[in-house]
Amino acid sequence: MFERLVLKLYLILQAYAFATKLDTEPSCSKLLAELGDFQKNLVTCVTHNSVPVQICSNCKIVYGNMTKQYKKLSNCSEYFDQDRLNLIPTTQNLLSSIWSKAYCNGKYFGKTVFSGYPYKCYFLSIYHVTECDQDDALQKYTDKNEELSTCINKTANNEVCATCLHLYRDLNSYFTSLNQRYNGKVCFEMQDQMNRTRNHWSKGLKCCQRKPKLTYFTIALAFVISLPMIFYTSSYIITIQRENNHGTLHDEDPLLNVPAPTASTSSTATPGATSLPTTSSTNLNETTSAISKKIF
Ligand SMILES: *[C@@H]1O[C@H](CO)[C@@H](O)[C@H](O)[C@H]1NC(C)=O
Ligand SMILES: *[C@@H]1O[C@H](CO)[C@@H](O)[C@H](O)[C@H]1NC(C)=O
Ligand SMILES: *[C@@H]1O[C@H](CO)[C@@H](O)[C@H](O)[C@H]1NC(C)=O
Ligand SMILES: *[C@@H]1O[C@H](CO)[C@@H](O)[C@H](O)[C@H]1NC(C)=O
């Protein structure tokens, strides 16, 4: 009777030990099933946060869970390189590539990045490799964007451009500086948001700075186009005045009014007629100087 009880107790203890062992070291099939769930969560999260792009901040935890799980599975060699498709690493790489394509990981290696003092940088090892996190930049950017958005929302439509311009410029220059620092690899969430803000600012609110420049350009263009008209009008006035001058001269000296065809056809050139071209050319010179005086 007592022996049976001891045996039962022993069996129970054995079962318990087995169970706890299972719990501390989960089987590979369990790890694989969990990985599938985490991958599914990531896909759902990415789809839900795709437009506008907000995957970097909203799916960060899900992505972290998935990568951790994949590392755990790496001990289960029976799932890797067993066939040509090699599906598990393929699926994992596919999902990870979304992350790197959107520059969500925010890890940039190299000494140059370390000079980016305002952003969190950690010394990783003696190899002087630094790991920099764009999370701070994203937070700062989001704060600035929020400030601008609040200003736009609470300001009357016709005053938005003037009132919120300094906030817009601040946000824009902050983004530009980040873009330079990270060599164009700024977290895509920020890129998308900046693009939307710029579009809204210039197309939605029509606060584009080109407008006054365009007005000046139009004025200059109108002036240039009207130049020929001014020229022809002034030429016309000058010609009329010149003709009037001819009339006055004719009154003074009848010889000057000798018609050119008569002078050239006439075979008997008088001394008065020969002096005609010189006089008329002097007269022409006077008129031209008069014209130039009028023009300038
Ligand atoms: C991520 O993992 C933690 C702990 O493993 C868990 O508590 C959390 O619910 C998971 N989150 C998601 C979104 O999968
Ligand atoms: C892989 O297995 C070893 C022991 O076999 C264990 O120490 C290690 O923590 C395991 N790695 C992971 C990521 O679970
Ligand atoms: C401003 O208004 C837009 C649309 O009306 C809204 O989506 C946005 O959240 C508002 N921003 C703030 C900071 O309240
Ligand atoms: C910015 O927006 C325009 C149109 O809204 C789009 O065509 C363009 O691809 C966007 N740029 C980026 C970097 O997303």
| Same structural domain, 85 and 155 | no
Asked whether 152 and 164 are in contact (CB, 8 A), the reply is yes
For the stretch 23-58, pLDDT in tens is 567 799 999 999 999 999 999 999 999 999 999 989
Long-range CB pairs of 111-117 (<8 Å, 24+ gap) are 113/181, 113/182, 116/181
What lines the ligand 3 site, CB under 6 Å? 146, 149-150, 153
Q: Is the peptide bond before 26 cis (omega within 30 degrees of 0)?
A: no
Instruction: Provide the residue type at 126 as one letter.
Output: I
pLDDT > 90? residue 117: no
What's the pLDDT at 294? 52
241 pLDDT tier (thresholds 50, 70, 90): confident
Top pLDDT among 181 and 120 is at 181
Residue 159 included in any domain: yes
DSSP tag of 53: T
Residue 262 included in any domain: no
Residue 162 included in any domain: yes
Task: From 153, 184, 204, give the residue that closes a domain.
Answer: 204
Mean pLDDT of 63-91: 93
What's the pLDDT at 121? 42
Percentage of the chain with pLDDT > 90? 40
| Same structural domain, 21 and 96 | yes
CA of 66 to the centre of ligand 1 (A): 9
Mean pLDDT of 146-151: 95
Of the residues 53, 186, 195, which should be mutated to test ligand 4's pocket, given the most ligand atoms within 8 Å of the CB?
Answer: 195
| Same structural domain, 36 and 96 | yes
The ligand 4 atom nearest the CA atom of 195: 1
Residue 42 included in any domain: yes
Q: Write the residue with the smallest CA distance to atom 14 of ligand 1.
A: 62
What lines the ligand 1 site, CB under 6 Å? 41, 61-62, 65
Residue 130 included in any domain: no
Task: From 204, 236, 254, give the residue that closes a domain.
Answer: 204
CA of 131 to the centre of ligand 1 (A): 25
Residue 49 included in any domain: yes
Question: Range of 189's domain?
Answer: 143-204
Closest by CA position to 92, among listed 42, 134, 56: 42
Q: Write the residue with the smallest CA distance to atom 12 of ligand 1.
A: 62
Top pLDDT among 62 and 8 is at 62
The number of the ligand nearest the C-alpha atom of 52 reads: 4
Q: What angle do CA 136, 139, 140 make, to 5 degrees?
A: 85
pLDDT > 90? residue 172: yes
Total domain count for the chain?
Answer: 2
pLDDT > 80? residue 162: yes
The ligand 3 atom nearest the CA atom of 152: 1
DSSP tag of 122: E
By DSSP bridging, strand 130-132 and strand 121-123 are antiparallel
For the stretch 179-206, pLDDT in tens is 988 888 889 999 999 999 999 999 999 9
Q: Write the residue with the smallest CA distance to atom 13 of ligand 1.
A: 62
Task: From 204, 220, 243, give the residue that closes a domain.
Answer: 204
pLDDT > 70? residue 143: yes
Residue 180 included in any domain: yes
Residue 198 included in any domain: yes
For the stretch 200-227, pLDDT in tens is 999 999 987 555 556 666 777 887 778 8
| Same structural domain, 15 and 96 | yes
pLDDT > 70? residue 18: no
What's the pLDDT at 236? 81
284 pLDDT tier (thresholds 50, 70, 90): low
Asked whether 50 and 102 are in contact (CB, 8 A), the reply is no
What's the pLDDT at 133? 58
